[in-house]
Structure 1
């Protein structure tokens, strides 16, 4: 999650422009970076620059990777790295206009008889195993020594979760950095897609090369949607609309993975009905589920508020990030209906994120499993839209 526990949110309110081989197919999507403009190349043979934006109105600033780390990431400045996805907002403009004119609300939740038997297949120990397994990697910084290690871990975990249903495909989506995103697809009778997302990279905000177990941020979110995938695969669930599970790299570097993926989807006119992003699903002192209401689609967010009490046993609260604090901002930039669900409010979120102390805690597992329940309910309901 791109969030900092400081007294004042810098650039608050600004929109960030932002292991089994039983699967039938494993393919790799390559990402071709947009050529840098002349402004993006510094004199001589210095490294290429990165284009960062901190608000909707910001025209952007070209910086080196080192400046990005030390002047933005480590100084708790909220930013979006748009270097390779400068056209994303333009690609999403027509969809934004269509969403603004949309009149039909999402239907009332009505598929409990189908979803509940799948929910009964969810196993808390699997959630615990994923959280501890990812946390055991020294760090999952997207440009660090363990980027490829974390990518391999996630790819193998997704393949394993999907392995009981050979209709499910698992593919990597490569980026300009060495931490590809992973996408699992349960094909439906319709090509329209309902998507759940979580990022798997982690960071230590004191030193990007330091220990960063990232148990809550965001091994917990990965565990929540991964267990939902495993249960749906085990049930051989055959949806109407196609269901996708996105595990992004590079979120802490400016929503890099999610922006790459949604830039491709927007350019290819992929029909996405809804996106549910989950970032930090473990730590909740209030034992609630928080639905966030800014930088999201209003209609889908209202629907998520209706869904929480149907498919979970937790209380519902709402909150605002004040900025595009996670990967839902990338989906929204592409013009797709996006929502964001977290384990708690901003003020009551974990004080340990982005530090070496974001380690697994016993209370995480049951709470993250509630998010798995919500994920299954959302996907089953969405498969009928």
Structure 2
């Protein structure tokens, strides 16, 4: 009798293992679209990314409800042109190039690897040196150890906002705290793993009752496809329409480039985390999504694919956006 029961138990365990061999692995809940939730392993996450599918890892996130937490009234026109135009000449392609050259020396910036921690500490040191925009990169075939310089994705966005940050703090009104609205610069980790860093931040802001009036995401700003005209891609999905309209006004005022509407899909970058928690967000991108860099997520995302004149235009946009909304009185 005991032997029979033991045999039955062993058979049951064997069948269970055959049905779901993933139970020995950590499982994650991801959202590929509102209501489209799946449970996957880490390996299955990267397989989806390799298929160019985007998602939000919602394992540790509350159900958001997608309701606006703060209804902002964005300016109908730019109003800080004198101040911003005085700052723009201080932006430097040389700084952009030298910073990115150092940043891509890490083997990768995968959030679970030692390189990810080292690169984050290095970036924090650069920020501290100034005061005192997705900083990870990943090789989808070997996330932990594979070489992923991430020059464009998202080294370009990282240095774009770092340079804007540096120049913004040379303005006496900003550095002495005279802006009526708080201006924050964020560099998120874990974007490639499902917007983990930005997801945690915006969930905490919502839980704490923070009023986030506007969020601009700069993810990939350096690639210009040969044979195409330089543009600023303005994302129109999973963003706030009013803030996006104002972003276009900022681009027209402070950049020489035209704007082109594009879409990148649900959960494609960190602005989706703000949107998911009910905060107004917008995103400026290096091109239309179809014309973006084909070299990302591997060894080929190198600095020779980055157009630093193009990156400079996005630093201008970031600088103008931060100054305009930092001093806006209608929000």
Which of 102, 105, 125 is equivalent to 1:156? Answer: 125
Alignment of 1:122-201 (within 5 A): 122-163=91-132, 198-201=133-136
Moved more, 117-126 or 241-250: 117-126
Q: Find out whether 1:360 has 2:303 as its counterpart.
A: yes
CA contact (8 A) 2:206 2:277 kept: yes
What's the CA shift for 1:94?
A: 4.9
Indicate the residue corresponding to 2:6 in structure 1. none
TM-score (norm 1): 0.74
Label 1:211 to 1:306 Cα distance change in 2 as closer, same or farther (>3 A): same
CA contact (8 A) 2:32 2:266 kept: no
Larger radius of gyration: 2
Looking at structure 1, the residues matched to 201 and 326 of structure 2 have their Cα atoms a distance apart, in angstroms, of 21
Looking at structure 1, the residues matched to 23 and 60 of structure 2 have their Cα atoms a distance apart, in angstroms, of 20
CA contact (8 A) 1:106 1:299 kept: no
Label 1:200 to 1:44 Cα distance change in 2 as closer, same or farther (>3 A): closer
Label 1:44 to 1:289 Cα distance change in 2 as closer, same or farther (>3 A): closer
Q: Find out whether 1:263 has 2:263 as its counterpart.
A: no
Unaligned runs of 5+ in 1: 1-41, 164-197
Looking at structure 2, the residues matched to 341 and 362 of structure 1 have their Cα atoms a distance apart, in angstroms, of 19
Label 1:288 to 1:47 Cα distance change in 2 as closer, same or farther (>3 A): same
CA contact (8 A) 1:74 1:207 kept: no
Looking at structure 2, the residues matched to 230 and 105 of structure 1 have their Cα atoms a distance apart, in angstroms, of 25
After superposition, what is the alpha-carbon deviation per residue over 1:262-309, rounded to whole angstroms, capped at 9, x for unaligned? 000011111111100000011023222111111100011111111112
Label 1:44 to 1:50 Cα distance change in 2 as closer, same or farther (>3 A): closer
Q: How many residues align?
A: 301
CA contact (8 A) 1:130 1:219 kept: no
Looking at structure 2, the residues matched to 212 and 43 of structure 1 have their Cα atoms a distance apart, in angstroms, of 30
Which of 28, 45, 62 is equivalent to 1:50? Answer: 28
Label 1:318 to 1:94 Cα distance change in 2 as closer, same or farther (>3 A): closer
CA contact (8 A) 1:162 1:229 kept: no
Label 1:335 to 1:43 Cα distance change in 2 as closer, same or farther (>3 A): same
The DSSP-based 3-state class of the residue aligned with 2:283 is strand
The DSSP-based 3-state class of the residue aligned with 1:127 is helix
What's the CA shift for 1:310?
A: 0.5
Indicate the residue corresponding to 2:67 in structure 1. 93
Indicate the residue corresponding to 2:217 in structure 1. 277
Moved more, 75-84 or 287-296: 75-84
Which of 217, 231, 239 is equivalent to 1:288? Answer: 231
Moved more, 143-152 or 351-360: 143-152
Label 1:79 to 1:246 Cα distance change in 2 as closer, same or farther (>3 A): same
The DSSP-based 3-state class of the residue aligned with 1:361 is helix
What's the CA shift for 1:50?
A: 1.3
What's the CA shift for 1:49?
A: 2.2
The DSSP-based 3-state class of the residue aligned with 1:146 is helix
Indicate the residue corresponding to 2:59 in structure 1. 83
Indicate the residue corresponding to 1:251 in structure 2. 191
Which structure is higher in helix share?
Answer: 2
Structural RMSD (CA): 2.1
Indicate the residue corresponding to 1:229 in structure 2. 165
